[in-house]
Amino acid sequence: MTGPGSEWLDDEAGPIVRSYALTRGRARPATAEGFDMITIVSTAGQPRSGSPGIGPEHVDILEMCLNPLTVAEISARMRLPLVVVRVLLGDLLHHRLITAHRPQQESALSKERLLREVLHGLQAL
Amino acid sequence: MVSKPSENEGSAQAAPVAVKILVAGGFGVGKTTLVGAVSEIRPLQTEELLTDRGVGVDDTEGVEQKTTTTVAMDFGRITIRDGLILYLFGTPGQDRFWFMWDELSYGALGAVVLADTRRLADCFPAVDYFENRGLPFLIAVNCFDDGYDYRPGEIREALDLSDTTPVVLCDVRDRASGKDVLTTLVKHLLAVHEAETQAGASAL
């Protein structure tokens, strides 16, 4: 590669430089949402063409999350570290292109119901 | 007109609930094998970067398990019913990645601690961690062919476990065995939850 800055983008740099290049150096999402690994992300809109700050990776996530996916699954499918995926998701949330459903902190009653449902589901495997 | 279009509400209702169980234990004890045996998908891998040391300096490709800059976690998925999905996360095998354990444990229902009788001490850190954190767990002894033939009671004693913590023997390669481990854990979680609810009620 040639051009300014390319000395940082040789093979030795590995995938990490690319990861942070995708986030333009940011290590935290632009929004307050922390994106737990099992927070479920659903696509809620499509970017207008030429939306500033929306790149191909953002578009990939939007296509992927037409069927809701967890943050961990997005990271695995994109082959990108969680920290990077969280930044990209923060951008999308900021643009209101996704909705994020955090894992619920269950009340005592519903936790018991949840555990019973999980137990029955496992027994039925 | 004051109301805005609320196209998000429909998807909020349809969004499934995700819960997670952790699979911990020493390096090479069979965490990913167990996840793979019960998961409906081939285990996926996600990774986290250590941002506080040398990011962008070390080439981490091809040196799995030895890098200090990325932490890989394998996970699998079991659809319990429409709208309820259980995720199984293998914890990083290296003890130094405690910051990942904190994130993984947050909101987890409980944990499976896999033990290998040839290297029982390898699971001590996981036992200590979950005891300190108050996350209910069980011990699943992966019965390797050349492993020592301990009884669950001996394992319990060796690990200094409370009487209520289940100890089960398993073969992580076997789906039915893995399923037994998980159902035993969830029964234990229900018992713990019931005890906590009763303790809370009597304290009122």
Q: Does B91 touch chain A (CB under 8 A)?
A: no
Q: Do the Cβ atoms of B186 and A118 come within 8 Å?
A: yes
Nearest chain B residue to A122 by CA: give it: B183
Q: What is the DSSP string of B139-199?
A: EEEE--TTS----HHHHHHHHT--TTS-EEEE-TT-HHHHHHHHHHHHHHHHHHHHHHHHH
Q: Calculate ∠ Cα B53-B59-B64, nearest 5°.
A: 90
- CA distance linking residue B36 with residue B20, whole number of Å: 15
> Between chain A and chain B, how many beta carbons pairs sit less than 8 Å apart?
143
Question: Which chain B residues are Cβ-neighbours of A20 within 8 angstroms?
Answer: 55-56
Euclidean distance between CA atoms A58 and A52, whole angstroms: 11
Query: How sure is the predictor about B148, in pLDDT bands with cuts at 50, 70 and 90?
Result: confident
Most distant CA atoms of chain A, gap in Å: 61
Task: Please give the pLDDT value at position A28.
Answer: 81
| CA B88 to chain CA centroid, nearest Å | 6
pLDDT tens for A15-62 read: 555 677 788 878 788 777 889 999 999 999 998 877 788 899 999 999
Mean pLDDT of B48-76: 58
Q: Would you call B78 and A104 a contact, using CB atoms and an 8 Å cutoff?
A: no
Residue A1 is assigned to a structural domain of this protein: no
Contact check, Cβ <8 Å, A112/B12: no
- For B7, the closest of A14, A44, A83 (CB atoms) is A44
CB contact under 8 A, B16 and A40: yes
Q: A14 vs chain B: nearest CA distance in angstroms? A: 5
pLDDT for the residue A35: 92
pLDDT of residue A27: 77
Q: What is the mean pLDDT of chain B?
A: 83
* Residue B87 in contact with partner chain A when CB distance is under 8 A: yes
Cα-Cα-Cα-Cα dihedral of A21, A22, A24, A29, to 10°? -140
Q: Which residues of B touch A97 (CB under 8 A)?
A: none
Q: Print the domain residue range for A17.
A: 6-123
Instruction: Kindly report whether the global pTM for this prediction surpasses the value 0.95.
Output: no
pLDDT in the model for residue B96 = 65
Q: How confident is the model at residue B63 (pLDDT cuts 50, 70, 90)?
A: very low
pLDDT of residue A24: 80
Q: Is residue A66 part of a domain?
A: yes
What does the pLDDT look like over A62-100, one tens digit per residue? 999 999 999 999 999 999 999 899 999 999 999 999 999
- CA distances in angstroms from A99 to A45, B33, B86, listed in the order given: 9, 33, 20
Predicted ipTM > 0.90 = no
Torsion angles phi and psi, residue B60, rounded to 5: -95, 0
Chain-chain contact of B87 with A111 (C-beta, under 8 angstroms): no
Per-residue pLDDT at B111 exceeds 80: yes
Which tokens hold the place of A55? 């790149």
- The minimal CB distance from B183 to the residues A105, A112, A119 is found for A119
B189 close contact with A: CB closer than 8 A = yes
The answer to whether the CB of B110 falls within 8 A of the CB of B185 is: yes
C-alpha distance from B36 to closest chain A C-alpha (Å): 14
**pLDDT top residue among A117 and A103:** A117
pLDDT at position B97 is 74
CA B117 to CA B123: how far, in whole Å? Answer: 10
Domains and CATH numbers, chain B: 16-203 (3.40.50.300)
Which residue among B8, B45, B103 sits closest to A76, beta carbon to beta carbon?
B45
* Overall average pLDDT of the B116-139 stretch: 93
Domain count, chain A: 1
Residue A102 has what pLDDT?
A: 86
Per the CB < 8 A criterion, the answer to whether A98 and A65 are in contact is yes
Closest CA to A97 of A51, A47, A61: A47
Interface contact B187, partner A, CB < 8 A: yes
Q: For residue B101, what are the contacts with CB-CB under 8 A and spacing of at least 6?
A: B24, B91, B92, B129
Three-class DSSP category at B124 = helix
- pLDDT tens-digit map of B149-169: 788 899 999 999 999 999 999
**Torsional sign, CA B85, B43, B50, A27:** negative
Residue B29 CA to its chain's centroid (Å): 13
Task: Identify all chain A residues contacting B17, using CB atoms and an 8 Å cutoff.
Answer: 103-104, 114
Asked if A118 and B19 come within 8 Å (Cβ–Cβ), the reply is: yes
